[in-house]
Structure 1
Amino acid sequence: MSDSPHITIDVVSDVMCPWCYIGKRRLEQALAMTDGVTTDVRWRPFQLDATLPKEGRDRKDYLETKFGGPEKAKEIYGRIEEAGRLEGLEFNFSDIAVSPNTLDAHRLIRWAANEGEEVQNKLVEALFRRFFMEGAHIGRDDVLVEIAEEAGMDGSIVAALLATDKDKAETDNEIRTAQSMGVTGVPCFIIDNKYAVMGAQEPEHIAQAIIQAAEMKKAGAPGRSAD
């Protein structure tokens, strides 16, 4: 698309959400379909369960309570595993011992944004991979510091910040803002502040929304929400 305007994509996501990891892969495929459209991807916070304590909860008990028993949890996660394989993701749910509180992970993602889109994207990818493939406890400060360093951030600075309340209120406020906008589940892709693509939609659907936003912006027309 020639002379295409710049399009922002805000991905409202939680790093303990497997559908968000699947959505990340589908977004990457969608971006490859939007030839000529310049985009900026920004990762935004959401918590599927803000009531989880800092130390997290036993994963098996948590999922069985959430889904009403072991058989239902097994059924639901079986479908997620199959969806993940189609995107090249081999989820290793059996190695996840703890369901973590992800507020500090979202603070880390917020700080990574200050170092650029590439660093933030590497960090988000590392958080997903370490949690879903390696079973890492991504609520622990030491694990978050390791992941930050893997993404190219300064671990000593991250460790010092995690020991404070830096950006906790701001991250909470951002989550509440997303909820007030009608975001009740994730992933949600907010395109150019006008189009909302809810859920881990197929790449073609996401790409269509991005192209539509670019065309509408180029024409100077108001946007409308996608679903």
Structure 2
Amino acid sequence: MLERTELVIDVISDVVCPWCFIGMKRLEQAISLIDDVQIKPRWRPFQLDPDVPAKGLPRAKYMLDKFGSEERITAMHAQIAQLGELDGIRFNFEDIQVAPNTLDSHRLIRWAGSPKAPDGTQSLIVKRLFELYFEEGRDIGDHKVLTEAAEECGMDGGLVAALLLSPADIESLRAEMQSARAMGVSGVPSFVLENRYVLVGAQETTSLVDALRQVASAKARGELSKDA
């Protein structure tokens, strides 16, 4: 059996971004269509609004302050819901009560990507957080919700609960997000293939498949080596 080319894709996203949820679904579909490449997603943190208080804000008022009118918000939600349905997402905006600060969610995502965690745990956590927020209307800034999500995805809930009460990884995550902004990342999702090629936005599945195949082929030919 031929050894499959390994391809690393860093996904910079925020779990309160509906386009990131759509982007995750499309990436998931793209990976399922590529059998001859071993694709390893790594989820990187980004906060669309790091100034939201730790306890969150009432989402209805938050959205109104941000977008200016109920009509605009309704139209935006309808457009996103229609697109999401095509990718198997049941956006349930009316049930979302809290606009959370996502720093603790990103801490959980980082811990799920630990070398000690089983392969795929990080992607499971990311998917579950999107589902909890956008489909079930849960507060993903709440430590209890995050701990439950961790347990559902096979993580040690007691350890996660303890870590959430500590300052673990807060400063390093903030530094990573600041670095991303300094490099010009202002919109999410952003897909970084092999630390070289960047796709911005919720790409169509076919576009992701094409990009992944092209970069994997270039890597297999040795064209991505440091000396190339």
After TM superposition, the score normalised by the length of structure 2 is 0.93
1:180 is displaced (CA, Å) by: 2.1
- Distance of 1:141 and 1:88 partners within structure 2: 27
Map of 1:171 onto structure 2: 173
Corresponding residue of 2:54: 54
**Alpha-carbon RMSD:** 1.3
State whether residues 4 and 214 of structure 1, in contact with CA within 8 Å, keep that contact through their aligned partners in structure 2. Answer: no
1:58–1:99 CA contact under 8 A, matched in 2: yes
> How far off is 1:32 after superposition?
2.2
Once the two structures are TM-superposed, the CA of residue 122 in structure 1 deviates from its matched residue by: 1.3
How many percent identity over aligned positions?
46
> Which residue identity does 1:5 align to in structure 2?
T
| 1:98 maps to 2:98 | yes
Post-superposition offset of 1:44: 0.8
Asked if the contact 2:4/2:38 (under 8 Å) is kept, the reply is yes
Residue 3 of structure 1 and its aligned partner are, at CA, apart by 4.9
Partner of 1:79: 79
Runs of at least 5 residues in structure 2 that lack an aligned partner in the other structure: none
- Residue of structure 2 equivalent to 1:109: 109
Higher mean Cα deviation, 114-123 or 203-212? 114-123
Per the alignment, residue 201 of structure 1 pairs with 203
Would you say the 8 A contact 2:5–2:36 is kept in 1? no
Tell whether the 8 Å contact from 1:7 to 1:39 is kept in structure 2 after alignment. yes
TM-aligned CA deviation for residue 173 of structure 1 = 1.3
Contact 1:91 1:132 in 2 (8 A): yes
Q: TM-score, normalization: structure 1?
A: 0.94
State the secondary structure of the residue aligned to 1:9.
strand
Q: Structure 2 CA distance, aligned partners of 1:129 and 1:53? A: 22
Deviations 1:180-224 (A, max 9, x none): 22211111111111111111010111111111111111222249x
Give the secondary structure class of the aligned counterpart of 2:11. strand
Q: Distance in 2 between matches of 1:218 and 1:194?
A: 15
- Structure 1, unaligned runs of 5 or more: none
Question: For this pair of structures, how many residues does the alignment match?
Answer: 222
